[in-house]
Each structure stands twice: as structure tokens, then as C-alpha cells.
Structure 1
């Protein structure tokens, strides 16, 4: 078994996450959850705009729902800072778009974040730096990692390097430090994801990435993920794939497995009217405004609810693994 190297960055996680050893190369975090309640968390994506484009309103409602559910942690699906990530660890955007926006007491829990394509346009290493965690101890961002929380395992996957177009664009620069050579990076990542899911004994398996697999939004499907990641998720009976990237709230069911495709990328600027035709038997919900996702997971049930900036529940869905319901 390989020893995972970890720095003071991981040791100073003051909430309830700790790092342990893992047989694959992905770091594994353990988050202590409530002993007498469901594992509960919020999911928000594509948010970092200094409070603008209703980011502050989304944050306010997240605080209300977070208090009501007594959430254990918050998940960010990436594109954490617009338009081009952070310049460095001293970039004031970290405070202006994160610390000074998500101020509710209920949101002072551990945040688990992945990088989005806009984050790679800046100094990607800055968001991974222990300096940011020292400045705001609820911040944690890594490329890919495993989070165990009670009977739930969340596997965070770095999806930006999968997309071919980012390596051919001439009008944007990306920070590929730590990613190149790309083919080796992706092959290792896919192997580690497969091994982690096969080794998992969790009742509920959730994979989190920035990019869509399937989406009726403006970005649409990510064919590289459909080809390379989706078969691994299906083979290992993953329950949910949660992403951002498309600036909407969305729920698509799978026609050939229990896997649900959940988009929570409406943390600030949304794209009104940007929706493409989709099979209505699979498309359970689509909302082109701002909002976020709340999840409550017990031993026997997953319950999801999408909220808008007024605190209204727009869509609910639950499953016991054998039966599913939506409204």
C-alpha cells in the first residue's frame, strides 16, 4: 500500500475532515457526520463573481437552508472564481467572492471544491495552495480526491483536462502545471477512479465533477466524459453524477442504469433561455435561473431538492435504490 503524502494543508482542516491512507493515488478524506441524522450537504457551482449576478442572494438562501438542515459540509462543482480563476494566493477575489459572500453561520462548514475550466485559466495552483486554507479554514480544493462521510462516498474528479478543445484554443491560456503529459495524467486518473469505486463499501456512491456528462444546457454533453468516464460510473453502480459548468439547475435520469445526472451550476450568472431539446422521459427538471442543490442521505434513502434565490423548492427527487419519486 502506498503512503499518501500530506502537508500541513491537510492537517489544519479544523472542521471534521482528516486525511488517511488509500491504496490508489487519490487522497482520501474522512468527514465526521452527525451520529443521529442524515448526511446533509449543499451543492453550488459557477459562483465566484464578487456577489454579483445574484450570487449574494444564492448565498443567503444557502445559509437559510443550511441552518434548517444542519448541513455537514458544502460541495462546489467548480468555476470558483471568474473570469480567469485567481492570479495568486493574494488575489482579493478569494475574499470578495468567497469569504465575504458565504457569511452565514451554517456555511462555516468545510467546503470541498474542484477546479473548473475558468479556474484553469488563472493560477490553478493558487486554489490548491495551503495558504488559502490558512486564511479561511473552510476552504479545501484539490484536483481529484475521495470524501467518505458516513454511508456516503463522494469522489471528486478533475474533468477539465478531459476536454480536447481546451488544449487547442488560441484565445485562452490554461495553467496545465501538474497535468502534463496529459495522456498519462488522464490514464492514471481513470484507473484511480475505477479502483476507488471498486474498493468502496459505501451504500451510496456519488461522483462530482465540473463538466457535464449529459446536459440540455448550452454546453451540452461532454463527449470525452461520455466515452471515458461514464462507463466506469455505470460499471461501478454510481448513484449520482453531480456537476456544474452549465449555468442552470438540471436533473436527467439514465435510461440504462440507476445513475442520475445532476447539474448545480447556477451559483451566480445564469443563462436564460439556453436549453436544447431533450427526451422528456429522461429530463425530469430544468431551470435556467440561479439556485443550488440540497442533499439529505440516510442509510436507505437519497433526497434531493433544488432551491431558487427566493428559497422556493423547484424540484424534489428521492430514491431508496429500488424505488424513485420526483416532484
Structure 2
């Protein structure tokens, strides 16, 4: 079998791309010597510190130190209101580097693009030049992060949503490297299907910007419910969590048909107060219409999710224990 292997090392993460079955770029993430890992997840944040972004960042730093986090996940809408202009846009430093300054947050950040990022120069956020400006930053369209006990599958969800393609004069979207839509979506889904089918990881976490299940402003994303959810719910794939942003709130919804937990962490800055629109949900465990973030702690047998508000108060927790573990290969 023909394989191409490229490794770029740093003090935090190594980059591994294997041209074999799985086509998603893969990153190897070290975890703690006791085979546990912890992380923070945040979305919809980049407003140069306003709308309580700086306050959320301060509490992320505190919680990050308490947990000894290994990395941070950004679920998209990284820079408002329309992404970055180019790789030298000062918004990158004003909304990211100068805001998340706590020592505990000087870890790798894995980010996906949101719909507001696509309204600007989406390609700029993917450019390695930004990693030269701030080595924490790593953003791709779709990719995987591998650890000894968990795999994280980051999916580019914005191109799935039809309405973004229908009104180009209302909002410009940077579809370079994406169009035509159907072909791109087909490849994303196929790559994810292959990656999930090959995975033997104990825990599987899928990350995207858009909601699958939500009771806030945007509600369910129909295209993801139709095209992505059936794959995530397939019993042979064993997906545990779906993390997203898009709705500016904190939510936890449990599937009634599968073990999947839908975790919305879109409270990084501007929150939508009072917008509660219950539609078809499974089991609503948390709806909080304010700013905040979540943490995820994993071991070989246990998972724990904690939701924090803007003051760092714990507002919700969820945990799961697995009876048996499969060896990670």
C-alpha cells in the first residue's frame, strides 16, 4: 500500500497526514502520563474582548489551571462579524492572542470555521502564517485529533447549510476550496465515515460549528439532521459526543435513540438572552441563555462534562462510565 507520511513537530503537537484509507488530516495530541486528558471548549467568541469575552477568558484560565488542561477546542465563529480580512488582520491578535493570555490557555487550540468566519477571508484562518503569529492556533476545514484514549473528528459544517449559498448579495461567503457544494459535502461525509469505521478509540467526539439539536435561535440544522446525524447515530461507529456552537448559549441535549450527547458551547461572548424555542428535542438537560464554556475530562473508563457561566460557576454536569474499554490502535 502506498503511504505518504509527513511529520512536523513542535513542543505541543505533531502533524500526521497518512494517505491511505482515512483522508482527513490527523494530529497527534499528547495527554497526561496517567492516560487522562482534559480540555475546554468555547465558541462564538471573537469580539476583541467585548460582550464579556474577556470575562469568559479569565474564567477559562482559572478552570484551565485547576484541571491542567491539555488543549482547547474552538467550535467556530472565531472572529466577528465577518471573519478575518487577511492573515495580517489585527483582529486575530485583538480577539485571540491578547484575550486568552492565562498561562493555562497557552496550549494547542484546535478550531473549525463558523458561518461568520466564511463571511470573511476563510482561507486566511487556515493559513500557517497565523501559527507563526501565535503558535497555539490550528484551524482546518475538517480534520482529526488522536489521543491514546479519544479521537476528535472536526467537521466543516457551514457548506452544508443551503441558505448561505442562495443569497450571495446579502452576505458574501468565501467558498474557495469548497464549491461545488454537493461534491464537497459528499467528500466530507465519506471521509468522516471512513475515519469513524476505522476508529477503535474508547471515546469518539465529533466537533462542528452548527447545531444538530438546539432549542435556541437557530434550532436544529436540518441539513445536518438529514445528512450527518444518521451517521453519528450508527451503532457500529460509537460516537459519544457532538460539540457545537452557532447558538449563543449553553445547551445539553441527550439523544433518546442513541448514546450521543449534544453539547452547545456558543457562549464565548455575545449571548442571546431569553431566546428559547423548544422544537423537536430529545431530552433537554440544560438550557442557559448566557455566556460561558464547557470542560471535558476523559479517562479510559469515565467521561465528565462541566458547564460554567461567565463567573466560572458550575451550572451543570454530566458523566458517563463505560463498562469495558477497547484497546486504542
TM-score (norm 2): 0.94
Give the alignment's Cα RMSD to 1 decimal.
1.7
Please show how residues 1-327 of structure 1 align to structure 2 within 5 Å.
3=3, 11=8, 13-21=10-18, 23-36=21-34, 38-169=36-167, 170-235=169-234, 236-277=237-278, 282-321=283-322
Q: Structure 1: how far apart are the matches of 2:311 and 2:219?
A: 27
How big is the shift at 1:35? Answer: 1.2
Q: Structure 2: how far apart are the matches of 1:279 and 1:163?
A: 19
**SS, match of residue 122 in structure 1:** coil
| 1:24/1:37 CA distance change after superposition, 3 Å | closer
Note the residue ranges of structure 2 that are not aligned, 5 or more in a row: 324-329
Question: Which deviates the most, 19-28 or 221-230?
Answer: 19-28
How big is the shift at 1:14? Answer: 3.6
**SS, match of residue 186 in structure 1:** helix
TM-score (norm 1): 0.94
Q: Structure 2: how far apart are the matches of 1:251 and 1:228?
A: 21
**SS, match of residue 177 in structure 1:** coil
Q: Structure 1: how far apart are the matches of 2:33 and 2:5?
A: 30
**SS, match of residue 59 in structure 1:** helix
**SS, match of residue 233 in structure 2:** helix
2:214–2:281 Cα contact (<8 Å) kept: no
Q: Structure 2: how far apart are the matches of 1:245 and 1:254?
A: 19
- Runs (4 or more) in structure 1 with deviation over 4 Å come to 1-6, 278-281
Name 1:325's counterpart in structure 2: none
Deviations along 1:30-49, one digit per CA (max 9) or x if unpaired, are: 10111115210000000000
Note the residue ranges of structure 1 that are not aligned, 5 or more in a row: 323-327
1:39–1:150 Cα contact (<8 Å) kept: no
Q: Structure 2: how far apart are the matches of 1:175 and 1:4?
A: 30
How big is the shift at 1:107? Answer: 0.2
How big is the shift at 1:11? Answer: 2.4
Question: Which deviates the most, 208-217 or 30-39?
Answer: 30-39
How big is the shift at 1:150? Answer: 1.9
